[in-house]
Chain A
Amino acid sequence: MERAAIQSIETPAGIPTGKLGMWVFLVSEIMFFTGLIGSYIVLRLGSAGWPRPGETLNTGLLAVNTLVLITSSLTMVLALNAAQQGRQVSLRRFLLVTALLGLTFLGIKGYDYAHMWHRGFTIASSLFGSCYYLLTGFHALHVFSGVIVILVLFKASASPALSQMTVGRVEYSGLYWHFIDIVWVILFAILCLV
């Protein structure tokens, strides 16, 4: 299991290779959302009449979604905990719940999109609309990818012996999942609350 050997050794940086790789990836993701969010800020500050978010967006629904995602981060932490303690059944349960919560988030988002689109708030109806769908759309894509990753982990964790590699993977995927959670909290704040 050479791959496992390589990816879980601790070396000069003091952290496992897989974790370092995930962090490098997350840096690029942070910069991607920085580009998008920065653009939003610039566009909003430079725009004369920006609609009040409360009037256009379904803030209540989005707040529920925020809760859903935060809860899913919690279950992800619990999943990692279970993995580190070798409790395979708990691990799988928490992974599944996390994935389901992610899908719930996406479902609510889909409903929210359809509803607003129908009411005339589309990606092309205003600059605010363009920004809103761009930011939350890319975020949703990341949530979707995250759900896929978790489901793959769910399948991988079915093997009888919880390998060192699976524990590592749960941790690194957890990092990614927490990241998209944090991005959502920021988006929620700057799109809906400010």
Chain B
Amino acid sequence: MFKYLFSTNHKVIALQYLFTGIFWLAFGGILVLLIRWQLAYPWQPIPLIGKFLFPESGGAVTPEAYPMLFTMHGGIMVFFAITPILLGALGNYTIPLEVGARDMAFPRLNMLSYWLLFLGSILMIVSFFVPGGAAGSGWTIYAPLSSSTEVSPGLGQDLFILGLALDAVSILMGGINYITTIIQLRAPGLTLRRLPLTQWGLFFSAILNTLWLPIVAAALFMVLCDRRLGTAFFVAGPLAPREGGQVLLYQHLFWGFGHPEVYILIFPVWGLVGDLLSVFSRKPAFGYKATVLSMLTITILSGIVWGHHMFTSGMNPLVGKAFVFLTISISVPTAIFFFNWLATLRRGSIRLTVPMLFALGVVFVFAVGGLTGLFLALRTFDVYVHGTYFVVGHFHYTLAASVLFGAFAFIYFWFPKMFGRQMNERMGRWHFGLSFVSLNMVFSVMMFVGLHGHMRRIADATAYEFLKPIQPLNVFLGWAVLGMVASQLLFFYNFFRSLRGGTPAPANPWEAGSLVWTVSSPPPWHNYETPPVVTCGPHEYSVPRLKGKDWLAQTDVRAATLGKS
């Protein structure tokens, strides 16, 4: 058993990440239900589980508990659900297989990286039970709310930071493996031009992580010092123990990481969508080079736009102007993604499998999410909606919708390969349909609510006169979110049931061209007996003059004679 628990095999580690991430996804989803109940029916006891969770208040959320709910929801979803699923699982499982390697470059480091995440998870769980309860300063951990024990005395905040720190080290270790493996361990013939887009996305993600995670790590250690060692890096004014530091410095450090982080989360999805649209349109990914160049451009740009999170902090107007211009320029490479996606679909032969549905769903919801980002880039407008549900709606469209759909696309697509079984297709379609409808209902209404000035992170909107007219929308959102979360039960049921009971899967159920689909489902322990020899790219579909089937696997020897690169 120990052999499996502490296995250095990348596939085992990937599955460990996957199951951990799925657990936290469910947990974070339950937190959402509590949040939206409170917003819909402020201070009313929660049905069924209220008395168990909040005994002292008769089952209702308390003002002290509410910040813990949204803080843990955000922190858990970003660092313990999405990152393990889309970086940990997708990266670990697919990279060695898709580059034609037997494992990652540093398997023992890989194993360590998972167990650090596991330790971080333990700390997060423990943080709910310590005196003072869980962290309550928002997932953004703004100082001085987070850094002063006078206002946030509980141990929960410290454990949250330590849990994140462990996760950060875990991700950095993973990054070392991803970057090195993609550069060094590619099979003969697998030029960078023949790398699937998913791995390009993971590659740029890892680069961004390597550069920017350490910055937020530095900031978080400084917060810990402020809390427990009597320093005042991020405390100033009357709350500071003596001559204080600079409060805004925290925000610069945090968002210096925080903005690249959103691209870290979405790059694998963009890559995956590029590959999936190609497979299921039976057509090469349009503009492969442009897509990769766009990823590179965004990688660079993402590091110099962080100020758009701080437009209301009193910055020098000239600096603000620069941030507006740089932020808005990211729309150019992003637009190229859409151009290429739509051009891939056009003149294709589209198969609406469940992974394809989710990939198409990403295109749709990311169009909304990305475009609403443009509003926020305009500082004059941003000043009005900063700190309101407009922002929450925007980042949920890009995260909870796009990234989540990407995660589902990943799981539905790779499930047969990972477990040797197929998931139930019909249930998958229902899952997609219900999720798509409910997600759009929830987050579009949420943005509308934000336009009206509804602030975020408040436990009760009825405390304000100007928000009373839109309280009915909060009630609507409560039920819509319940529907959205309930729809996910279809996924969980399908996933766990198919692990044992799904129909056995062939090596290549999707007729996909990349390397991994040339081996069995699940793959052999060491992936490839001898390194495969790659002759063409991963998107050789509908190749003309091909007899028998309409596509070439990456190892197909006919590629040379058919003149495809």
Which residues of A are in contact with B by a Cβ distance under 8 Å? Answer: 2-3, 6-7, 9, 11-13, 17, 20-21, 24-25, 27-29, 31-32, 34-36, 39, 42-43, 46-49, 122-124, 126-127, 130, 134, 138
Contacts and interface: CB of A to CB of B under 8 A. Distances in A.
Contacts of B218: 32, 35-36, 39
Contact of A21 (B106, B212, B243): B106
Interface string B90-108: 0000000000001001110
B225 A39 contact: no
Q: Name A's interface SS.
A: helix
Given A21-B105, A35-B215, A39-B253, A123 B229 contact: yes
Main secondary structure of the interface of B (DSSP, over half): helix
Given A24-B179, A39-B249, A31 B233 contact: no
B175 interface: yes
Contacts of A17: 105, 180, 184-185
A69 to B, nearest CB: 22
Nearest to B526: A2
Interface string B218-230: 1101100100011
A31 B215 contact: yes
Contacts of B245: 43, 127, 130
Given A11-B185, A130-B231, A20 B180 contact: yes
B140 interface: no
Interface in B209-260: 210-219, 221-222, 225, 229-233, 241-246, 249, 253, 256
Nearest to B102: A2
A44 B212 CA distance: 23
A25 to B, nearest CB: 6
Given A17-B180, A21-B106, 17 more contacts: A6-B185, A7-B106, A11-B186, A13-B184, A24-B175, A24-B210, A31-B210, A31-B212, A35-B216, A35-B218, A39-B222, A39-B233, A42-B246, A123-B229, A123-B231, A130-B232, A130-B245
Interface of B: 102, 105-107, 172, 175-177, 179-180, 183-186, 210-219, 221-222, 225, 229-233, 241-246, 249, 253, 256
B225 A130 contact: yes
A32 B217 contact: yes
Nearest to B240: A127
Given A31-B210, A36-B218, A20 B184 contact: yes
Contacts of A9: 184
- The 5 A-B residue pairs with the shortest CB-CB distance, nearest first, are A124-B230, A35-B218, A32-B214, A130-B231, A31-B214
A27 B209 CA distance: 11
A25 B243 contact: no
A56 to B, nearest CB: 15
A56 B6 CA distance: 49
Contacts of B176: 21, 24-25
Contacts of B179: 20, 24
Nearest to A47: B243
Nearest to A131: B233
A35 B225 CA distance: 15
B184 A12 contact: yes
Contacts of A48: 243
Nearest to A128: B243
